Structure 1
Amino acid sequence: MRTRTLLASLAVATVVLGAGPAFAADPKVAPGGNFDLSVWQLQEPVGSPGSPTTISSSRLQGPNGYQDAYFYTDTRDGAMTFWAPEKGVTTPNSNYARSELREMNRSGSAADWALSGTHRMNATLRVVSVTSNVCVGQIHLGSGGSSTKPLLELYYRSSGDIVLGTENSPSGGQTLHTVGHVSVGKTWTYTIGVSGGHTIDLTVNGSTTHYAIPSSFNPYKQYFKAGSYNQSSSDSTTRGARVAFYGLTVSHS
């Protein structure tokens, strides 16, 4: 098994479900000082129209690695925190700003894995604030065709509902499944993944559900994303979604 791990390097990184973190990583260093960022790159809600700024994994790594107002270590608990305001630079295929990690290979190339096999992303997180809706995890389509859609998106709504969106086909259309409920500011866990080339596996706070992958996705390879992909827009730079991560593990076998 090949495992890519994004976990606090300190043994004290412990989280109590349903509450804030009991202990945290070093709050005095950049996220790269607490987390292995060698297999991720960062996209931020700044840059030029249609071309958000991307921060390479090499710049993210280490205690003096990259951080700013949109991606930083919370000085209270060491959480790797993502901030995406309602007003920000977006990609050409989206109306929403994001501060979000994109999976990479250790070689520096973009991750692009086949549906066959078993692929998992495990996260421990809390949504610190959200205007209406934020995507906190994705499996996104990579090479294999012209679609720019995700295979799935995991949303957290301001009501506390956790909702999985599964794409109906590479052409679009999403089916929503309510899979849990956690109050804003409370810690929770998820695992999103695929197995056997034809099944989406989702676990939220220990409860697991499965969803069939339509055969129209078979030509496509995939990659993981995690962070704060805000799902609302306005002219406000102070309203948005702030998401704190305490653990993130990606594995492929």
Structure 2
Amino acid sequence: MNLNLIKYIGVITASGVALPAYAQDACDSLRQLTIVSATDEGLYEETHGPENTIDGDMDADSRWSSESQGGPRTLLLDLGAEQNLTSVQIAFFKGDERKTKFAIETSLDGEAFQTVIPEQQSGGTTGDFETFELDSIPAQFMRLTGFGNESNNWNSIVEIAAFGCGEQVEVPEQAVLTERRGRGMFGLDPDATPGENFDLSGWYMTTPADDDGDGISDSVYENELAAGWTDPRYFFTDAATGGMVFRTTPSGAKTSANTNYTRSELRGMIRRGDESISVRRDDGFPNANNWVFSSAPKATQEAAGGVDGIMRATLAVNQVTRLGKDYQIGRVIIGQIHAKDDEPIRLYYRKLPQNKYGSIYYAHEPATGKEEWIELIGSRADVAPNPDDGIALDEVFSYEIEVKGKQEGDAIIPMLHVKIIRDDGSEVIAEPFDMRDSGFSIEDEFMYFKAGAYTQNNSSPDPEMDFDRVTFYSLDYEHGAPPVAGGN
């Protein structure tokens, strides 16, 4: 490297950290750089792996194809040594028929990346190479992020090449191959149990079964669930997608005498299998297995397992009930925040038999005051018209349910945030819901997340055949750390 041509520049990473970087003003001579490996997340389509992008074959069948299923896909290219990168050429699959959305980042160490080509579209006019010029950039790694194309969610590249100057690197004798991560969606394995596909160590399961005959629905706790427990009736892996299936029937067992409906549903367990911590305290004061609002008293926050929180899920509703009373048909709860006795949110999906699409709405049941209903997509009415912007059965979508405090003078106001993300990336965001008067910011109150299929129909005349089924493809939650007892 010619040190007379080096100058210092500041690189800001995605996390906002300033790093030193060095760039050459020019190259004495440009050449095509060796790319020693091309790897990805392992979610590529069958034989269309990432190594096809650097094999020198422009045949359309020799390509990388990976579908964006709720998120982008990345292709990581290793130049073998630090090089001076001046341009990238990309041949997009069906590049003369459609435009592909992508971005490119570079890195010296494979850890800290800087964006060199912000998100943009390909030209859409050629199946040959398209050239993207760069400032003279030092890099050993390039990361291409694909966001699908204007026709669908697939990211497909026939070939990619890098140009610049620097150290000569030999072409490896054997390509580095990415191991494919299963045949299902989102990298899930259709042959694995839910506990093998998902981290279930922070959940326990309530089923509609009463196999021990005690009159109460059976539950399965974290350690057994994470170890691979499954039930072919109510909780199992979908054989086609690898998704985690929740099935519930109106005729199933209930959790208590005060419950009207049955469920196949997970309950958040912050203790993560530590059975020395009880599920809950009977007096309503929180313990390390449950969380509280940041508006709760300080002593209450100190005793809890977390403060505020967010639950994220990607799922599809496959079937809802179609028989029974008008006000119960077709409705199922797919996510909740449950308090000691009440529910800050119950998130509903509802599809009426005569409608093509379903609606999404939520209920806020305060500890004090009247229950409130918020419609997000379509209507919750018993005779609602077909919502043109509704969500069909088997359509994949995501939701986020979050509680976080908002500073207002000296007070913290608990705010409920709800978001629905469609498969095309569009979002439906509810107005933040003010819970200051809901009665949850007290000493003897606590929260936990729930997710699954909680039927809201107990009137179907054919309860075994008329059931709810919901398949989850991702599910997680997180909380802020509680304050340390005795701290400021």
Q: Which TM-score tier does this pair reach, normalised by the shorter chain?
A: 0.7 to 0.9
| Structure 2 counterpart of 1:212 | 434
Gaps of 5+ in 1: 1-9, 143-147
| Structure 2 counterpart of 1:4 | none
Q: 1:174-230 CA deviation, whole Å, 9 max, x = no partner?
A: 211111231111011100011015110111113322101124121221000000000
| Structure 1 counterpart of 2:451 | 226
Find the residue that maps to 2:439 and give its secondary structure. Answer: helix
| Structure 2 counterpart of 1:133 | 331
| Structure 1 counterpart of 2:293 | 115
| Structure 2 counterpart of 1:3 | none
Stretch of structure 1 that moved more, 10-19 or 190-199: 10-19
Bigger Rg, which one: 2
Distance, in Å, in 1 between the alignment partners of 2:449 and 2:42 is 25
Distance, in Å, in 1 between the alignment partners of 2:475 and 2:68 is 13
| Structure 2 counterpart of 1:241 | 468
Give the CA deviation at 1:11. Answer: 5.4
Change (3 A) 1:56 1:176: same
Distance, in Å, in 1 between the alignment partners of 2:249 and 2:236 is 15
Gaps of 5+ in 2: 1-40, 44-66, 72-151, 154-183, 280-288, 295-306, 322-329, 353-357, 378-389, 406-412, 422-426, 481-488
| Structure 2 counterpart of 1:157 | 350
Work out whether residues 149 and 171 of structure 1, in 8 Å CA contact, stay in contact via their aligned partners in 2: no
Q: 1:89-117 CA deviation, whole Å, 9 max, x = no partner?
A: 11222211100000102224433111114
Work out whether residues 31 and 67 of structure 1, in 8 Å CA contact, stay in contact via their aligned partners in 2: no
Q: 1:217-249 CA deviation, whole Å, 9 max, x = no partner?
A: 212210000000000013511211100000012
* 2:373 partner amino acid: L
Distance, in Å, in 1 between the alignment partners of 2:186 and 2:344 is 34
Distance, in Å, in 1 between the alignment partners of 2:293 and 2:196 is 32
Change (3 A) 1:172 1:186: farther
Find the residue that maps to 2:209 and give its secondary structure. Answer: strand
* 1:124 partner amino acid: T
Distance, in Å, in 1 between the alignment partners of 2:348 and 2:221 is 26
| Structure 2 counterpart of 1:61 | 226
Find the residue that maps to 1:51 and give its secondary structure. Answer: coil
| Structure 2 counterpart of 1:124 | 314
Matches within 5 A, 1:133-212: 133-142=331-340, 148-159=341-352, 160-167=358-365, 169-170=366-367, 173-180=370-377, 181-196=390-405, 198-205=414-421, 206-209=427-430, 210-212=432-434
Off by >2 Å, runs of 4+ in structure 1: 10-19, 21-24, 64-68, 107-111, 171-174, 206-209
Q: TM-score, normalised by structure 1?
A: 0.85
| Structure 1 counterpart of 2:191 | 28
Q: 1:115-157 CA deviation, whole Å, 9 max, x = no partner?
A: 1143100000000001110000000013xxxxx2211100000
Q: TM-score, normalised by structure 2?
A: 0.46
| Structure 1 counterpart of 2:55 | none
Work out whether residues 49 and 89 of structure 1, in 8 Å CA contact, stay in contact via their aligned partners in 2: no
Change (3 A) 1:49 1:134: farther
Work out whether residues 335 and 449 of structure 2, in 8 Å CA contact, stay in contact via their aligned partners in 1: yes
2:260 pairs with 1:95: yes
Distance, in Å, in 2 between the alignment partners of 1:34 and 1:224 is 20
Distance, in Å, in 1 between the alignment partners of 2:187 and 2:220 is 25
Higher strand share: 1
Find the residue that maps to 2:246 and give its secondary structure. Answer: strand
* 2:433 partner amino acid: Y
Distance, in Å, in 1 between the alignment partners of 2:267 and 2:236 is 16
Find the residue that maps to 1:59 and give its secondary structure. Answer: helix
* 1:27 partner amino acid: P
Give the CA deviation at 1:67. Answer: 3.2
| Structure 2 counterpart of 1:15 | 69
* 1:120 partner amino acid: I
Percent pairwise identity: 32
Distance, in Å, in 2 between the alignment partners of 1:70 and 1:123 is 19
* 1:74 partner amino acid: D
Give the CA deviation at 1:69. Answer: 1.3
RMSD of aligned C-alpha atoms? 2.3
Give the CA deviation at 1:24. Answer: 4.4
Change (3 A) 1:11 1:252: farther
Find the residue that maps to 1:46 and give its secondary structure. Answer: coil
